[in-house]
Every structure is written in C-alpha cells, then in structure tokens.
Structure 1
C-alpha cells in the first residue's frame, strides 16, 4: 500500500489527474487548513472562508482530469482561493469593508473617474500583466502576494538568494506601476 504522505506535490497532482481519490485526500489534508487560513484572512468570515475552500477543493476534484499545473500545487490552490474570493466580492457587489478600503484609496490617491474600471475588470487586467512577467519573477511575485510567504521563505523554497527574491518583487512592482496607477496596484495587493 502506498503512503501518499511521502509523495511530492507534483506526484500527487499527476495521480489526481488520473482520478486517484487517495491522492486527492492527501492534497486536501496537506492544504485545506492553510487554504482556510488564507481564505479567512481574505473574507474575514469563518463560514464564508470554509465555503470558499470547500468550493476550491470540489472544483479541483471535478476538474482533476483537466488539471494542468504551470507552477506548484500550492500556488495553484492559492490562486484558486483568490479567484473564488474575487468572484464572491463581485457577486456581493463589494462588502462594506472592502468598499470603504477602496474609497479610501480613491480619496487619498489621484484616481479619477476617467480611469475608473470596475474592480473585477481591474484585477483581471493586473492579473494578465502579472502573467506576462518573466517566469521566475512571476513565481516569486505570486508566492509573495498570493501565498503570503516572506522573502526568506521564498528564497528557501526556490533555492534563491534572499536579495534575488527582493529584486524580483521590486522589479515586478515597478513594471506594474508603469502600467497602472498606484491606487489600482494597491487595490490589487489588498485583494491578496
């Protein structure tokens, strides 16, 4: 009998894609608690966070045969939670606390009506630009912003120097600032 707990994430992803239910259970055991914590920090509601994570894992199982990881399994799950959160916000037409944070950004920044794009579209545009970043820079940036890892944790995970990680993040932010207003980037970062 195979001990799924010893399998690397990429092995589990391959087994999951082949329909292996035990691989799915191991992924769930390995990541459900950390995804719940991440979701709870986003939505600030325990029940909604639990529902959001449940949706992510249900979707993962339902679409397992089509699973095509471009990065790590953890990055994929963090992105899935983030996308579910963005959809939740869009459906609720932005909860009061998010609306207030966004209004503060508008009031304090040089954000004008001419540049207004609804939040969902803006986040999607920024996501597209992040996807265009060079591969290593994108991976570092997403681990920082999506997974909430520190520079040191990213450096250890990717076997890079801490200074290299910092440079990748700074350069990614510089690229984004060249394409979007500061208030837009702040909104994107606050949505993480």
Structure 2
C-alpha cells in the first residue's frame, strides 16, 4: 500500500542535496514513523526498529548529493530500510552463533569463571566508553541510565530540547556499542587464551 507522497518531495530532495537541514528535517518527520513501523514489523523489536530509523536517515544524509537522482524516493527508502533490517538480523544470527560456539568450546566448570571474568570486563569497557563521550553526551547518558530520568526531565534540567536529548542518547549509545564491540572482541580472545591454555 502506497503512502501519500510529499507534494514537494523532488524539491526537498534537491534542497537536501544542497545541504538544507530544514528540508532534511521535513523529510525525516514525514517518513520517520513509517520506516519505524516497517522495521518493527520485520524485527518485532522497538530497539532495532529505532536503530534502523537512525541508521537509514544518517546514511541518507551522508549520501545526500545523490538524492535528486532517485526516481521513486519512497520505494528507495523502504528498500534501504528492509536491507538494513536484514543485515542487522544476519549480524545478530552470526553473533549468536559465535556465542553458542564459545559456550560449547569452554567446559561447564570453566564457563562460570569465564562468564564472571567477561561480566567484569564488559562493565569496565562500558565505563571506559562512557568516559570518552563528549561532556554533554556523557551527562545526558548518565542522567538517563544512572538517575533513570526521562527524556523530558533531562531536557528540563539541562535546558535543552527533548529532541537534543534524544540525539545525545542515540550518539552516546552508538559510540558505546562501537567501542565495546571493538574492545570486547580483543578481550574475549585474551580471556579464551588464558582459560584454554
């Protein structure tokens, strides 16, 4: 089922290609919920669906110069979202397979030690990642995670908009995930080396 198209979509795409953040915001607000719904139907995960929205629109902005060349933007956008979902699901399946393989390789008695060491290592890596965040991102992240404040409460306390809080949280989480993934892969290799040898 086709959704109503933006009446000035071609003009918006041209403006975005020229670097207009206002035009991009209009496009984002028009399609955001639709992309989220499509991603949620495929993943059944609000977290993954939100990630798809962020990543798809970030990719659109990065490749904005090519937008005017797209014949049917809506089709392009949803194919892009679908491909992103499938890539994310494949990646999750590979990661789960790796975890399953690691658990099979480690005897049960050692598995408890491994898990304890891994939990300590993960906590330390996340702490390091948080410490590397820019000041305001770090503040927003800590207020959200440690003080368990809602977006609106953080916005009011820091005198910034709720959307700015959302952006800071998204960027902070993206950084923490990327940093943790890199560091954790190294740590798992070392932990396995010491446990197996």
- TM bucket, shorter chain: 0.3 to 0.5
User: TM-score by structure 2 length?
Assistant: 0.42
User: Which is richer in helix?
Assistant: 2
User: TM-score by structure 1 length?
Assistant: 0.43
